[in-house]
Structure 1
Amino acid sequence: MSRFTRLPALLLAFVLSWMVLPSAFAVAQQPQMVSVAVKTLNMRTGPGQRYETHWTVSKGYPFRVIGRKGDWLRVSDFENDKAWIYRPMTSKTPHHVVKAKAAVLRKSPNARSPIVKRAGYGDVLRTHERRGDWVKVTHEGGGTGWVARRLVWGW
């Protein structure tokens, strides 16, 4: 087989690889999210217990993973604060946090639907379902309903 006979096959392989590559990058670039799996979690200045604790957060609080070092995750929250957390104390259970001054949970994903519960800035919400611009959540203090996505941050 001459190299001219192999050229169409090589060209086809090259073109196909460029068609698949962008979708592989899109998956890789999606931010990884984690939430707190324990009652209280220390947010540290570095990847280890010897580092100072910045602040603490409660169960369910969501984070975007922005780095790793061993079993430690460098994370960012909805206010873009950054810290290190111990990976075994996190989970893949989806949560949101209220980023607006106030948010209402409604009976259905509709702005005219009756209010089920009111939530305030920083409240943690367990995520159940997404439907368009709405997210079905359970408030950390009880009450399940739909909240507008623009009012929350997380998964």
Structure 2
Amino acid sequence: MTLRRALFACTVSLLLLVRSVAAAEMVSIAGEEINMRSGPGTEHEVLWKISDGFPLEVLATKGDWLQVQDFEGSSGWVHKKTTRATPHMIVKANRGTAQQINVRREPSTKAAVVATASYGVVFKTLERQGTWVKVEHGQGVTGWVEGSLLWGF
């Protein structure tokens, strides 16, 4: 009987460990001017508005509401219907500076630069190759960005 309990305890511990190291659930905003609220319901204060594609990490759920956190660590609540699973990324590099990141033709620092982007610019994620991410901007620009410069995956 004690062996069975020990095996059960090990199994539960392993499941908890696997769950804790699992990748964070990410969503992106599906619509223009979505309200980020202070609590799970329309009766709660609107903290700010977020735009289409903005990536968020899901922290918890309550009914049809998601408690989420953005790339700067700010959190709030959004309704599930205002989100989608389509992966998006946001530029997290160079906060507080005018410096921009390069969007390149190929996944290499030697590849031609097709565009630049500032802190806070949102991209749709198309694919990943090693540490590089192929992204598309809403204005049609497509290219590769080194993953350490982005947040959302």
**Which residues of structure 1 form unaligned runs of 5+?**
none
Instruction: Quote the Cα distance in structure 2 between the aligned partners of 1:75 and 1:56.
Output: 13
Contact 1:133 1:149 in 2 (8 A): yes
Distance 1:110 1:53, change over 3 A: same
Runs of 4+ in 1 over 4 A off after TM superposition: 17-21
Match of 1:50 in 2: 43
Larger relative helix fraction? 1
Q: Percent identity?
A: 41
2:119 to 118, 121, 144: 121
Instruction: Quote the Cα distance in structure 1 between the aligned partners of 2:17 and 2:86.
Output: 24
Contact 1:119 1:139 in 2 (8 A): no
Instruction: Quote the Cα distance in structure 1 between the aligned partners of 2:126 and 2:83.
Output: 18
The aligned length equals 146
Contact 1:100 1:152 in 2 (8 A): yes
Equivalent positions of 1:70-81 (< 5 A) are: 70-81=63-74
Give the secondary-structure state (helix, strand or coil) at the position aligned to 1:39. coil
Q: CA offsets per residue over residues 25-46 of structure 1, 9 Å max, x none?
A: 4356321111001122111111
2:86 to 71, 90, 93: 93
Match of 1:108 in 2: 106
Instruction: Quote the Cα distance in structure 1 between the aligned partners of 2:47 and 2:78.
Output: 11
Q: How far off its partner does 1:115 sit?
A: 0.6
Q: CA offsets per residue over residues 36-59 of structure 1, 9 Å max, x none?
A: 011221111111111111111111
Match of 2:145 in 1: 147
One-letter identity of the residue aligned with 1:63: L
Give the secondary-structure state (helix, strand or coil) at the position aligned to 2:86. coil
Larger radius of gyration: 1
Q: How far off its partner does 1:83 sit?
A: 0.6
Equivalent positions of 1:21-36 (< 5 A) are: 22=14, 25-27=17-19, 29-36=22-29
Within the alignment, does 1:136 sit opposite 2:134 as a pair? yes
Contact 1:123 1:140 in 2 (8 A): no
Using structure 2 for the length normalisation, give the TM-score: 0.84
Give the secondary-structure state (helix, strand or coil) at the position aligned to 1:140. coil
**Which residues of structure 2 form unaligned runs of 5+?**
95-99
Please provide the CA RMSD for this pair.
2.4
Q: How far off its partner does 1:72 sit?
A: 0.6
